[in-house]
Structure 1
């Protein structure tokens, strides 16, 4: 039925007429937006609801007369650009605030006419819609720019360096006795960095908003250890042990969600084994931590606690250090299995969990083929998380308020015990 309607339409209305109407419609949309802008500001601005459709028709006509040849279209583009240069010069002479938005929109309108004649309807429509979005969101985009510092832009640049510059050029093949794959190794770094960077951005967006539990949720997704130490130090300044101990338990719960996500991405078979125990531990920790935190009757923590400075998770040195540690763990796991068997892997899990649990977990996902069964890998990961929780409890006891430290050690040790118990039920 749709094809029949299209055929009838093409028979009743010539394609050239449809193209002209489409050029006029798209160009009119840009002209309408620019006319509204000129009316609101009251200052000189190039063009409006008549000028932009005319520019679109010029682009269409040149494409038609030149049969789509590039040189005539380029000459027409240069002619329109010259007129835009005169318009901009006039702005500079008459106003202290001179922007190029209208002039650039005019060049885009010229291209719309040429694209429609050449049959690129989707490209022309996408160009106009994108232009309208950018033009209408001027205030929002300018406000967004003021919210990001040069350090934030540098952080985003580093993220792009890690993901779209370094990763694609690495060879995707195994090398040496330990079957080290540079691409997969860096992909692990990218995955960890992406999760941390997403949490980093959320923390920047909501800084100063929400309570300590929101800090724990977002910080735990970023790094539960870093968040635990930060909360422990802030607990010294307040007298709210239940609130801080509960928040620290919530951050630990987010560690399980983070780990389950990463394991599922890099080793789905291992992820299927761990998704239920880790999901259960995460739910229990977040729920229990929230309830424990609500027992406190103390006042809300100071703004300085909620607006703590979040460190850049994407420093190149940190990424290289993580990659090196990941490779070391892969090698240690290989030798632990070769000489000590499962007991060696479990011992290594307990030791590595004291420091940073992420490299060990990711190392197990890549070394799973060497294990006697996936159950060994799942058990090792739960042991590492249990060890990490005990270590965090000791950190709080060392850096935090004494009552907060005692409560956190008990809560995190209980969580560790649950992790160990669950290892006996893994199939």
Structure 2
């Protein structure tokens, strides 16, 4: 009888809702403790201030403090927390005085483990474990991070600081709503364009630093294709004109191949309603572009690639990003005005005109239109047409800079996908007006 009554009692500490916070806090402390234990593995046993077990217990103690504060007494929780902090500070001060070391990483890591334990105990187990994983990673890349900072130039450090201001000090405070004439401008999305442009520029700069100058041609083409294939084409066409063996034609073809993928990806992110029709229009030309890239690579195989020019530019410049921002703002205004004045047909035509100047600007402009303002099929056709104009423009850049003799491989690679794209666009246009 007594056993039955005892079994019928609901003990709160058997509740899974209480067990999960405690287990997540222990796991968070364990993750950090594994890294700290590995870092101190060369030290004699007993000389380490905190290892796997200590960090695990610190995380668990944090959860206990949170649970006690909720279910028992806040005063008791405060006493437990104060006692733990006193013990930690005393141990670490003795260790620092005894060894003469000024490294406070382990002490700070223990406080982070405690904080994550408190977070887990407060009902945020996922955040506690995620925070521990990030903390462990930061601690584990100590040598690489020190080497990275050591080799940073003044321009690179300033670029990091500026990008941080652009991304986390400005973007979150911009309104995500339509403003201006015809509700053409969304400050949040416009500023996001600046971050994308400067981010791509930084990525290309870092890739060149990591890979080295010798492989800079292909790396520049890959990164540049996601940033500005036109700029890559102009740069490599100049290299073709100067002569010297190298994968310059391959780089031009590769940048444009990636440009096709960039258009599809950017459409999926900013204007998902036209993702399917634009993919149907650009799918075959994209495949043809990569086939042409492979053929260009085969023709250039065996030619030793000379060192690409050393990176002398700054990690990123704000002026090109703001110029592009102005283009996007102008394209958005043009598209919204045409749609308001002339309806669906005017919106499609303005997308084509704006996109001929910059395809990405047209995509951003379309994403700002009200839902249903322009039919997805018309918008996709207009954007595909702008891609064709852009490809023709890049072909002209190659022939104008490198002439036919030096630039024929790159020009033929571009024209192969362009020809197929023109045929598909014309077919779709005829079907649309029929």
The answer to whether TM tops 0.5 is yes
Count of aligned pairs between the two proteins: 412
Residue 83 (structure 1) aligned with residue 86 (structure 2)? no
Which of 277, 290, 293 is matched with 1:286 structurally?
Answer: 290
Instruction: State the partner residue of 1:418.
Output: 420
1:309-362, Cα deviation, whole Å (9 max, x unpaired): 67645x444333322211212333456675899699759846863x54322343
CA spacing shift, 1:102–1:211, aligned 2, 3 Å:
closer
Which of 43, 46, 50 is matched with 2:49 structurally?
Answer: 46
Larger deviation: 35-44 or 413-422? Answer: 35-44
Instruction: State the partner residue of 1:360.
Output: 362
Query: Hey, what's the Cα distance between the residues in 1 that align with 2:146 and 2:268?
Result: 39
Query: Hey, what's the Cα distance between the residues in 1 that align with 2:186 and 2:334?
Result: 18
Instruction: State the partner residue of 1:3.
Output: none
Kept after mapping to 1: 8 A contact 2:398/2:407? yes
1:73-96, Cα deviation, whole Å (9 max, x unpaired): 5533552454256236416x645x
1:17-67, Cα deviation, whole Å (9 max, x unpaired): x89x96888767766654554342579753446766776787788786993
Query: Hey, what's the Cα distance between the residues in 1 that align with 2:115 and 2:348?
Result: 63
1:363-420, Cα deviation, whole Å (9 max, x unpaired): 3454587976444433332332222223222323344476333443444345434333
Q: Which ranges in structure 2 are unaligned for 5 or more consecutive residues?
A: 1-6
**TM-score w.r.t. length of structure 1:** 0.73
Instruction: State the partner residue of 2:405.
Output: 403
C-alpha RMSD of the superposition: 4.8
Kept after mapping to 1: 8 A contact 2:296/2:413? no
Instruction: State the partner residue of 2:382.
Output: 380
Instruction: State the partner residue of 2:225.
Output: 220
Larger deviation: 292-301 or 155-164? Answer: 155-164
Query: Hey, what's the Cα distance between the residues in 1 that align with 2:56 and 2:186?
Result: 54
What is the CA-CA distance between 1:111 and the residue it aligns to? Answer: 5.2
Instruction: State the partner residue of 1:319.
Output: 321
Which of 332, 337, 341 is matched with 2:334 structurally?
Answer: 332
What is the CA-CA distance between 1:302 and the residue it aligns to? Answer: 1.4
SS at match of 2:300: coil
CA spacing shift, 1:115–1:287, aligned 2, 3 Å:
closer
Residue 105 (structure 1) aligned with residue 90 (structure 2)? no
Query: Hey, what's the Cα distance between the residues in 1 that align with 2:211 and 2:384?
Result: 32
Larger deviation: 257-266 or 159-168? Answer: 159-168
Query: Hey, what's the Cα distance between the residues in 2 that align with 1:61 and 1:365?
Result: 49
Query: Hey, what's the Cα distance between the residues in 2 that align with 1:322 and 1:174?
Result: 19
Instruction: State the partner residue of 2:185.
Output: 181
Residue 261 (structure 1) aligned with residue 253 (structure 2)? no
CA spacing shift, 1:169–1:414, aligned 2, 3 Å:
same
**TM-score w.r.t. length of structure 2:** 0.72
Query: Hey, what's the Cα distance between the residues in 1 that align with 2:358 and 2:258?
Result: 15
Larger deviation: 376-385 or 148-157? Answer: 148-157
Query: Hey, what's the Cα distance between the residues in 1 that align with 2:405 and 2:181?
Result: 50
1:145-185, Cα deviation, whole Å (9 max, x unpaired): 55655544544544444444433333333335422232464
SS at match of 2:226: helix
